[in-house]
A and B are shown apart, each in its own frame.
Chain A
């Protein structure tokens, strides 16, 4: 039966090759686009994680929703140390995140001020796409030092050693001010966060009258894809340690829902585009299979006379469809792997300016597209495409089955 099916496919060599290439190419395109999509998704996830401080974040309940200083994590450093000792946790980043107004004698500008412990953020600058351009970064001696990105420094017209004043409202709603000296100017890589300022954790706590409280503890996991599974565990643990403090454990996706939505819209667009392409291919398969059934009516009659029942005939058509699809998919997979490897190695340049977009305060610039192979996604896509192709064989198979042998034998006389 398999031999028969395979040879039947090659009766119309040209037709089989055309439909086979259509399947192979659309399948390859499918996989390659998914690879690119997955790469930019992972890249955005990584950036988002850096921005949030980790795959998970512990914060005062509703801090994310309210963005006010009513929702804090009391004695944040102590809690962070206990979390850091948990298995699966790679690192923790304690931070105080303040929205305030920075002023110099000449200018004002809004900025995202992070009070951090530089020891806890060893790779923080790099992760955020920042590099020290002038001065030194938050040395322990610089208790009142502040690090500004070049963008913010330019807006304030300040240089190293100049004074800046941070104005904000404290948890009680009182307006407070704190004086800082510019200790560092940071260069921002394309795609880095350019409206950001850093101070020592304690300096930020003091400036906002927070005491020992922090606004969040970023929890970096050994494998950030485990975040959804570990989230409830950590929530339970935190609730046990701090029963009365109404602390929340969020994934970065919950902290930055706009970014998630954007990744999903992007993915949906790709899928719709691919779906339309593949719909055409499915029709091509259905059409080919139907033609090949209708031009062999006499032969199906003969098969019936020889003792192939309706079930056999259906199976024959399905096997032909499956062989065609599988052979084409094998070729498509080879093309996709080659394409993926090429794109992952050299990238697809997008020209001078690259592609710039900004979501949730995170700006991204891609100069090139790269590809990441997530086996699960490729397998899922392959199964989907195979199933769709098989659906395309249903009608032709039913036509073959419904042929009455005697009728079929008469058609050519």
Chain B
């Protein structure tokens, strides 16, 4: 590890490339073209961007600008039509279904806009789900998950089913699940979109704190200008392109 933290760069508008060893994710010339009959939709249009380890980045842009597609491509949920995606030294752009799933299981935490939790499992069981999939023993799972649940204020509600939790509480469980397996990066697709302003901001603050505590790279997409203010780096997208890459100091 080098001492150059990405946020040390003060210039807000330049996408100064970090040194090679400081790159966790490298997206290079990635295009994702959907064909619908005769119509071609360029969800991503030759996007190139890098993310350093420990970065907390918001991806902003109007609806249909390609935010979800970019996150999916980085998480190997979607295959780009062209270009390469390297995560932690590993080319993930052309992984098969099973390899992609395995990659996500070991290295990526996901948080979605809604329906994040399995309705038949309790909050605790949802939170430990990926750890159980990884084959961690019960006691170890408990040791990792319970403190996190308590950290997000859900220690008392661990045995509730998702439909007995509020939307914000459900999202917090999803964040705990994403963090519990200590992934290289957490991808969150509009995690606050279904929450009211206050709850959304609280969730963001929580994510920010956890990110700082655990040093995990966070990438999330959002429409909400107030939410993006909390990020130190904001990528603005439009029509499948990155139109701005802004860095800012502490909010």
- B115 / chain A contacts, CB cutoff of 8 Å: 298-299, 302, 412
- B121 / chain A contacts, CB cutoff of 8 Å: 3-4, 7
A303–B97 alpha-carbon span in the complex (Å): 13
Inter-chain contact B129/A306, CB cutoff 8 Å: yes
- B110 / chain A contacts, CB cutoff of 8 Å: 305-306
Kindly report which residue of chain B lies nearest to residue A303, judged by CB atoms.
B118
- A405 / chain B contacts, CB cutoff of 8 Å: 77
The answer to whether B101 has its CB under 8 Å from any CB of chain A is yes
The answer to whether A308 has its CB under 8 Å from any CB of chain B is yes
Residues A307 and B133 in contact in the complex (CB < 8 Å), given A302-B112, A405-B77, A406-B72: yes
Contact digits for B111-138, partner A, Cβ 8 Å, 1 yes 0 no = 0100110111100010001100100000
Instruction: Determine how close the nearest CB of chain A comes to the CB of B79; give it in whole angstroms.
Output: 9
Instruction: Determine how close the nearest CB of chain A comes to the CB of B190; give it in whole angstroms.
Output: 10
- Which of these, B112, B119, B120, B125, contacts A305 with CB under 8 Å? B112
The answer to whether B98 has its CB under 8 Å from any CB of chain A is yes
Which secondary structure dominates chain A's binding surface? helix
Most chain A Cβ neighbours within 10 Å, of B105, B120, B129, B177:
B120
The answer to whether B75 has its CB under 8 Å from any CB of chain A is yes
- B97 / chain A contacts, CB cutoff of 8 Å: 309-310
Residues A304 and B101 in contact in the complex (CB < 8 Å), given A4-B121, A11-B120, A298-B115: yes
Inter-chain contact A310/B77, CB cutoff 8 Å: no
Inter-chain contact B98/A310, CB cutoff 8 Å: yes
Instruction: Determine how close the nearest CB of chain B comes to the CB of A399; give it in whole angstroms.
Output: 15
Interface residues on A, range: 20 to 34
Instruction: Determine how close the nearest CB of chain A comes to the CB of B36; give it in whole angstroms.
Output: 13
Inter-chain contact A308/B101, CB cutoff 8 Å: yes
Kindly report which residue of chain B lies nearest to residue A298, judged by CB atoms.
B115
Shortest Cβ-Cβ A-B pairs, 5 listed: A307-B105, A309-B101, A7-B120, A309-B98, A307-B104
Kindly report which residue of chain A lies nearest to residue B72, judged by CB atoms.
A406
- Which of these, A7, A310, A409, contacts B112 with CB under 8 Å? A409
Instruction: Determine how close the nearest CB of chain A comes to the CB of B81; give it in whole angstroms.
Output: 14
A4–B104 alpha-carbon span in the complex (Å): 20
**How many of chain B's residues have a CB under 8 angstroms from any CB in A?**
27
A4–B75 alpha-carbon span in the complex (Å): 24
The answer to whether A8 has its CB under 8 Å from any CB of chain B is yes
Instruction: Determine how close the nearest CB of chain A comes to the CB of B54; give it in whole angstroms.
Output: 22
Kindly report which residue of chain A lies nearest to residue B69, judged by CB atoms.
A406
B89-116 contacts to A (CB < 8 Å)? 97-98, 100-106, 108, 110, 112, 115-116
Kindly report which residue of chain B lies nearest to residue A5, judged by CB atoms.
B120
Pairs A–B under 8 Å by Cβ, sample size 30: A3-B121, A3-B125, A4-B118, A4-B121, A11-B120, A298-B115, A299-B118, A302-B112, A302-B118, A305-B75, A306-B104, A306-B105, A306-B129, A306-B130, A306-B133, A307-B104, A307-B105, A307-B106, A307-B130, A308-B105, A308-B133, A309-B98, A309-B100, A309-B102, A310-B97, A312-B101, A312-B133, A406-B72, A406-B77, A406-B78
Residues A4 and B120 in contact in the complex (CB < 8 Å), given A305-B110, A306-B129: yes
Contact digits for A135-177, partner B, Cβ 8 Å, 1 yes 0 no = 0000000000000000000000000000000000000000000
- B129 / chain A contacts, CB cutoff of 8 Å: 306
The answer to whether A311 has its CB under 8 Å from any CB of chain B is yes
B73-89 contacts to A (CB < 8 Å)? 75, 77-78
A410–B105 alpha-carbon span in the complex (Å): 21
Inter-chain contact A307/B120, CB cutoff 8 Å: no
Kindly report which residue of chain A lies nearest to residue B97, judged by CB atoms.
A310
Residues A302 and B116 in contact in the complex (CB < 8 Å), given A307-B133, A308-B133: yes
A406–B77 alpha-carbon span in the complex (Å): 6
A303–B115 alpha-carbon span in the complex (Å): 11
- A10 / chain B contacts, CB cutoff of 8 Å: 120
Most chain B Cβ neighbours within 10 Å, of A7, A312, A405:
A405
- B100 / chain A contacts, CB cutoff of 8 Å: 309
